[in-house]
């Protein structure tokens, strides 16, 4: 993880539009880095300990056209609110407040049904989606790992912005909970990809051959994520 020393925000005109800039100073950074964070809808500039804001702005200006185009291409935010809809496994689900409902939010019949005050809806819906993702991904990963076979230590879900999944050397898999909003064939591919890393911690031909043994959806899923993945990061 990046060791952050500080983080500040400001607004800067980039390519004729007002952009949100998040400045981060990292003890581990060796050079200035610039990226678009689709979840924040902002430009993130990371500075090394002695890097200056002036140098960061110079990098931004040097890539101004690219930054402006990427920001303009971001999907509109999708708010989690009563009466709104969000996808679950690629199918639109209506968020319904039911005063008679008790317990955690329930995801069924193209609805997410829950009770409580409107200001708590977003958190409770996210909790329900994370719980669904954790259970669904764990079962799918375990089933695929048993086919290889490979030792699967544990499966976790987090709210990541840079990757949909990852695999560690100790056999632990991590997935973005937001993946549960994507169609099932996309989930199947990402899980297969990470399970294949339990045998091959690289992207050599043997890794891709194993991935293709575990899922038939590689081409379709990668195309879907390229076209629509950023939209999942805008839900919240």
Quote the pTM value. 0.84
pLDDT at residue 79 above 80? yes
Do 40 and 196 meet the contact criterion of CB atoms below 8 Å apart?
A: no
Q: Residue 191 sits in a domain of what CATH number?
A: 3.30.2010.10
pLDDT of residue 5: 55
Residue 107 lies in a domain: yes
First to last CA, the chain: 23
Quickly list H helices, the chain: 53-62, 64-73, 121-147, 184-196, 205-214, 218-232
Residue 80 lies in a domain: no
CA distance 74 to 80: 18
228 shares its domain with 134: yes
Residue 154 lies in a domain: yes
111 shares its domain with 49: no
User: What's the CA dihedral at 10, 13, 15, 21 to 10 degrees?
Assistant: 0
Among 94, 125, 156, the domain boundary falls at 125
Residue 79 lies in a domain: no
For the chain, the domain total comes to: 3
Read off the pLDDT of each residue in 184-198 and give the average, rounded to a whole number: 98
Taking all residues of the chain, what is their mean pLDDT, rounded to a whole number?
Answer: 94
188 shares its domain with 114: no
141 shares its domain with 226: yes
pLDDT at residue 205 above 80? yes
121 shares its domain with 137: no
Residue 55 lies in a domain: yes
171 shares its domain with 201: yes
145 shares its domain with 215: yes
Do 103 and 195 meet the contact criterion of CB atoms below 8 Å apart?
A: no
140 shares its domain with 198: yes
CA distance 163 to 184: 18
pLDDT band at 1 (very low <50, low <70, confident <90, very high): very low
Residue 157 lies in a domain: yes
Domain holding 208, by residue range, is 130-232
221 shares its domain with 141: yes
Residue 147 lies in a domain: yes
117 shares its domain with 145: no
CA distance 145 to 196: 8
Three-state DSSP at 110 gives: coil
pLDDT digits (tens, 9 = 90+) for 89-101: 999 999 999 998 9
pLDDT at residue 2 above 70? no
pLDDT at residue 168 above 50? yes
CA distance 122 to 144: 32
140 shares its domain with 117: no
CA distance 86 to 93: 5
* Cis before 149? omega within 30: yes
136 shares its domain with 218: yes
pLDDT band at 3 (very low <50, low <70, confident <90, very high): low
Three-state DSSP at 56 gives: helix
pLDDT at residue 52 above 70? yes
User: 135 forms bridges with which residues in the sheet?
Assistant: none
Which of 154, 127, 132 shows the shortest CA–CA distance to 142?
A: 154
Please count the residues of the chain.
236
pLDDT at residue 116 above 90? no
Read off the pLDDT of each residue in 131-148 and give the average, rounded to a whole number: 98
């Amino acid at each position: 993880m990046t060791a952050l020393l500080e983080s500040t925000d400001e607004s800067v005109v980039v390519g004729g539009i007002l952009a949100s800039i998040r400045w981060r100073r990292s003890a581990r950074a060796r050079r200035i880095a610039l990226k678009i964070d689709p979840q924040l809808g902002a430009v993130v500039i990371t500075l090394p300990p002695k890097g200056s804001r002036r140098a960061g702005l110079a990098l931004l200006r040097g890539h101004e056209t690219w930054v402006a185009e990427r920001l303009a291409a971001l999907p509109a935010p999708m708010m989690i609110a009563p009466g709104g809809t969000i996808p679950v496994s690629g199918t639109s689900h209506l968020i319904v407040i039911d005063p008679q409902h008790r317990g955690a939010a329930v995801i069924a019949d193209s609805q997410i049904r829950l009770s409580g005050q409107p200001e708590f809806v977003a958190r409770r819906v996210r909790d329900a989606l994370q719980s669904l993702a954790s259970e669904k991904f764990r079962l799918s990963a375990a089933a695929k790992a048993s086919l290889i076979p490979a030792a699967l230590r544990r499966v976790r879900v987090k709210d990541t912005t840079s990757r949909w999944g990852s695999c560690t050397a100790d056999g632990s898999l991590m997935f973005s909970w937001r993946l549960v909003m994507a169609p099932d064939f996309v989930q199947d591919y990402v899980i297969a990809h990470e399970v294949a890393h339990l045998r091959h911690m690289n992207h050599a031909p043997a890794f891709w051959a194993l991935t293709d043994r575990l899922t038939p959806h590689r081409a379709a899923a990668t195309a879907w994520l390229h076209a629509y993945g950023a939209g999942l990061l805008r839900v919240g």
